Structure 1
Amino acid sequence: MWYNKVEVILMDGFNELGRILIFFGLFIAVLGAIIYFLGGNFAWFGNLPGDIKVEKGNFTFYFPLTTMIIISLIINILVRIFR
């Protein structure tokens, strides 16, 4: 019957979604462990020249421009290497 085919397609999609969610969960856990254990070693990151920080009274605006560019370059290099 046609509904058996739909069921198989849906189950394949759910299996793939489950794998993706597990991968991202592990990635976030590893990233959290790295930040937890090595957080003090990267205190300079986010306070680079070119990062914009405005403080006035009880208002603070922070725009990490240089940090975002560096992260973008690192991700771009990694994607090109593992592609």
Structure 2
Amino acid sequence: MLRWFLVVFLALVLINGLTPLLRRWGFGRLPGDLRFRLAGREWDIPLASTLLLSWVVSLLARLL
């Protein structure tokens, strides 16, 4: 249980650190990514970017 918590925590830290770099490359602005303002806060739901990144990671995992 503790191991999974640590893995999820480290993955979230890594994703949070890579977000500015990924935004410069266009992730988060693909067709299918949702961005809206609700209650004075901006919300992002990157559906297309998540699918694209998971596809790339699974392709890399199969090649290795």
Establish whether TM, by shorter chain, passes 0.5: yes
- The counterpart of 1:64, out of the listed 46, 56, 61, is 46
Q: Unpaired runs of 5+ in structure 2?
A: 1-13
Hey, which of these two has a bigger chunk of strand by percent? 2
- For this pair of structures, how many residues does the alignment match? 48
Moved over 4 A (4+): none
RMSD after superposition: 2.8
Match of 1:70, as an amino acid? Answer: L
Partner residue of 1:74?
Answer: 56
Percentage of identical aligned residues: 24
Which TM-score applies when normalising by structure 1? Answer: 0.46
In structure 1, the gaps of 5 or more residues are: 1-27
Q: Return the alpha-carbon distance in structure 2 between the equivalents of residues 77 and 69 of structure 1.
A: 12
The structure, 1 or 2, with the larger RCO (C-alpha pairs under 8 Å, 6+ apart) is 2
